[in-house]
Amino acid sequence: MADRKRILITGAAGFLGSHLCDRFIKEDYHVIAMDNLITGRLKNIEHLFPLENFEFYHHDVSKFIHVPGKLDYILHFASPASPIDYLKIPIQTLKVGSLGIHNCLGLAKAKGATLMIASTSEVYGDPEVHPQSEDYWGHVNPIGPRGVYDEAKRFQEAMTMAYHTYHGLDTRIVRIFNTYGPRMRLNDGRVLPAFIGQALRGEDLTVFGDGSQTRSFCYVDDLVEGIFRLLMSNYNLPVNIGNPDEISISDFAEEIIQLTGTTQKVIYQELPVNDPKQRQPDITRAKELLGWEPKVGRAEGLKRTYAYFKSLTPEELNEKDHYDFDKYIRK
């Protein structure tokens, strides 16, 4: 259809990006998916390839972006998003949050498109306030091992606001808290797929530190709904999207053991440097501005996610990251 709205989604073959592709296809948009496949997987979006209103660009957004035709929206969701990824490819993590956002902003300006960036709860660092609201400026170590991700996202927010204030570009900033659901990579280092993968492989569950640190997990369908509502709003400042139902990592490990019916024990290892002790979103702004709050409880979300991971083949369960990280190193 000639009058379809057109949206570019970067990082489209990743966990969140692929679910966003599904949502905007459902909303009858023409979706242009872009990913360099360092951490994304084509199988996350291969079901969309036969559609006439879907196209895929294999491209690194840190390089100049050309998309022919009109664009109504750009969602910049390209970035390594787990500790294992951004510790393996720190330079690329910084580049996608700096060069990548600059390229996306330039494209949005040229096309007259609305641009949304995927920011993160990591902009708050290891927080000194609890829960975290959007007016908290954060407690981040810029030169620590997590700094490449935290500061890339903080720079991305600053660059986006500069284009908004100086060029009048219509922008959105979503600060995403811990999210889970189907299509997560088992070996990406995040706690939920790590626990479920260990349980399915018959391994003990590894908790870092004493397990007292907390996280708040949002099911992916809820997150996508919040992102969609924010994009359709006219609000330009950051908005937290996440589930405030907080749980300690040790209690979460016990929930996974009960869910999977396994008999493994929990083992404890040293807490990584600068690992946040608490993570809980204040979603007052999202409730008031967007009429949004999460609907899927953790028990139901975990059941759906576990069903997805149980459907994987033994080869997929034991698969190590197959991406050719080496070719991106030192570039």
And the tokens for 211? 């397990």
CA–CA gap between residue 263 and residue 253 (Å, rounded): 12
CA–CA gap between residue 220 and residue 138 (Å, rounded): 25
* Residue owning tokens 């720190």: 90
Q: What's at 311, amino acid-wise?
A: S
φ, ψ dihedrals at 293, nearest 5°: -155, 155
Q: What are the residue numbers of the active site?
A: 149
DSSP three-state, residue 25: helix
* Residues contacting 11, CB < 8 A, separation 6+: 17, 34, 35, 40, 76, 77, 78, 79, 118
Are the beta carbons of 107 and 72 closer than 8 angstroms? no
* Residue owning tokens 């907390």: 214
